[in-house]
Structure 1
Amino acid sequence: MAKKDARKSTWLALRIRWWREALMLRTLWVLSGAVSPARASALGQRVMRMIGPHSRKQRNICANLRIMCPECNAREIEALARDVWGNLGATLAEFIHLDTLTKLDGDDPAIEIVCENTDPDFLARKKPCVFISGHLGNWELSSWCIQQSGYPIDSIYNPQQNPYLDAMVMSRREKLGCGLVPKQNALRKLMRSIKQGRSVGVHVDVRVDDAPLVPFAGQDAATTTLPAWLARKFECDIVPVHTERVGHARFRFTLHPSISWHLEGTDQPKSIEQLSAEMNEALAGIIRRIPGQWMCTKRRWPK
């Protein structure tokens, strides 16, 4: 009986926590929806810069930033961590305005799309690509921007542990019209997508337990090899992309040069290890330019 009561108490405590988290996000969205996207973004940023540093996740953020930015001193790391929290708060507040942010009409769109990829095959959209990115700026806009660039896409997402939060977030994501693939058992669905001529998107800046160690920002980190595996199997290039916040509810989305699946001057495929290392190197270079916009609340490198 005692064990049963303990389980019931744990179950109830978990649901109370879930309801509380959902209520907090709902409140933020109600407040954000009552003002313009720019004011909502500023509100979310201000709130999270105040409360975020007191979270248990602060330790993870600072540890990740110390590795990503070894030249920064303790005070600079703390300042960057506040920026990380502010960017997260702005992103959460902007959820309610995603439909407005992605409107293409008007003389002053919220999103600027920049293509630094000069590969003729990429520009001709001859075949699908494996797009990789990190949780930067408002990362929720990345798949939409890729589709606007002429590449229909299905992107992996990691469902929230809190089912109430997950339902809320998914209701906003689905309005963007991009394909969404749950992380669990995603391989078969992504293979089907590529066979159908659709590109795939993967966030590769998070730790994947039991994955091989690949250099990332100068230190080995457990890294998904899924993009490299798909690139080799389907002979398609890996294209790094990122969304940068350039103001309140203002963004620049950049398509970077392709990472070729084959060795230069040959048709021989690169190894999984080489492709994954090149992918991590490209992403680390992007993050180091805007480390305060990297949502790194989970530990990325081994302890």
Structure 2
Amino acid sequence: MRTKTRQDDLAGRRAFVWEEPPAPTLADLSSGPEGRRRFARYWIRDTLRDLSVLTSHHALRPLPAAVASALGAFSFAQSGRFYPGRSRRMRANAARLRPDLDADAVVRAGWANRGRLMSEFSVLPRLDTPETLVVEGADHLLEARRRGPVIVLAMHLGNWELLLPVFRRLAVPVATFYMPPESRAEHRIACRVRETFGGTLLPPGVKGVRPALKRLARPDGVVVIFGDEGWDGRIMAPFFGRPTHLAGNLAIAVRLARHSGATIVPTYVERTAGTRFTCRWLDPIVLGPVDDAGAALPADVERLNAVIEPIVRRHLDQWFFLDHRL
């Protein structure tokens, strides 16, 4: 269950609170039409949907990673025709943000990358090899961590789930904010896979702020937050020329950094070909001293947006939120 205002003005949005929806009981069946609908959605509709998710996940697990990934790409390439609204938004966004590219090709690549991403959950440990996953610029993270706590500003590009194997390879304990999927089965799978790599999952929304601050209070604490985001079908960040707002993760990252004195280190995982990836660590961002952190917040947020926006534009065909509204 996600609770957040649905105002069209992003600047007016409040921080959301996520809570695991309780399982309906037999009492809901006798509580009226809404209770019966809730019972049917949870125990019948969602269970049947999750059955297909679990079947697919366990069927892919024994396959070679490249085969599982390719099957996902093929499957989602076909799925695109069944979601014409999403495809239209992807095409319109691609035409607006990268008019130099073939929008139809971006849409096809976007669906394929989404399919690979979903299927690769089943084989993620086998993607963590020096040949499959190359790491560039890790010294940016390691040197910043030697100086104090770090906020990693990540992006939903390529297969960002490979960040946790990278942290394990670098022997860096990490806590990460995450957004639970709507499917209970997908949620369980995602948590299990992420915890396999030793990552600590922070509660999404405002509930994750306190444990994040506790982690950043350590001299070498590391917290991951994703700077790009979509909500209720709308792109919240990057801004792409729209007015700056302070309702999203970019503002949270700045506030956490100001409060803890953490260095911000941007990173992303690019899919270079099939099941080959490069994790790139960028130059650290140190927020200088200011007299009024609140007054400096919009400029700080713009500074972070200026880092992630060109990267997202450059890799639109691998960006998870391309099907959201601008």
- Class of the TM-score when normalised by the shorter of the 2 chains: 0.7 to 0.9
Alignment of 1:135-154 (within 5 A): 135-154=156-175
Aligned to 2:318: 293
Moved more, 148-157 or 172-181: 148-157
Asked if 1:190 is matched to 2:212, the reply is yes
Offset of residue 101 of structure 1 = 1.9
Q: Pick from 195, 198, 208: which aligns with 1:177? A: 198
Map Cα deviations across residues 186-220 of structure 1 (whole Å, 9 max, x no partner). 110100011123111111211468xxx88722223
Aligned to 1:98: 124
Aligned equivalents of 2:223, 2:170: Cα separation in 1? 14
Count of aligned residue pairs for this structure pair: 288
Q: Pick from 126, 133, 148: which aligns with 2:147? A: 126
Greater than 6 Å deviation, 4+ residue runs: 266-270
Q: Pick from 213, 218, 221: which aligns with 2:241? A: 218
Residue 82 of structure 1 aligns with an amino acid whose one-letter code is R
Offset of residue 53 of structure 1 = 4.1
Asked if 1:242 is matched to 2:268, the reply is yes
Aligned to 1:25: 53
Q: Pick from 265, 272, 283: which aligns with 1:257? A: 283
Any conservation in 2 of the 1:84–1:294 contact (CA below 8 Å)?
A: yes
Q: Pick from 67, 75, 80: which aligns with 1:47? A: 75
Any conservation in 2 of the 1:216–1:281 contact (CA below 8 Å)?
A: no
Normalised TM-score (structure 2): 0.78
Aligned equivalents of 2:59, 2:115: Cα separation in 1? 13
Aligned to 1:111: 133
Residue 138 of structure 1 aligns with an amino acid whose one-letter code is N
Aligned to 2:106: 80
Residue segments in structure 1 that go unaligned for 5+ positions in a row: none
Identity of aligned residues (%): 23
Residue 182 of structure 1 aligns with an amino acid whose one-letter code is P
Any conservation in 2 of the 1:116–1:257 contact (CA below 8 Å)?
A: no
* Alpha carbons of structure 1 residues 3 and 221: separation in structure 2 relative to 1, 3 Å: farther
Question: Secondary structure at the residue paired with 1:271?
Answer: helix
Aligned equivalents of 1:249, 1:77: Cα separation in 2? 23
* Alpha carbons of structure 1 residues 62 and 284: separation in structure 2 relative to 1, 3 Å: same
Aligned equivalents of 2:142, 2:79: Cα separation in 1? 47
Any conservation in 2 of the 1:155–1:179 contact (CA below 8 Å)?
A: yes
Q: Pick from 191, 204, 209: which aligns with 2:227? A: 204
Aligned equivalents of 1:3, 1:119: Cα separation in 2? 54
Offset of residue 228 of structure 1 = 0.6
Aligned equivalents of 1:35, 1:65: Cα separation in 2? 33
Residue 103 of structure 2 aligns with an amino acid whose one-letter code is I
Aligned equivalents of 1:170, 1:119: Cα separation in 2? 24
Map Cα deviations across residues 15-59 of structure 1 (whole Å, 9 max, x no partner). 433223322322322332232001111110111011134224334
* Alpha carbons of structure 1 residues 13 and 236: separation in structure 2 relative to 1, 3 Å: closer
Aligned equivalents of 1:214, 1:220: Cα separation in 2? 11
Question: Secondary structure at the residue paired with 1:155?
Answer: strand
* Alpha carbons of structure 1 residues 146 and 116: separation in structure 2 relative to 1, 3 Å: closer
Offset of residue 272 of structure 1 = 1.7
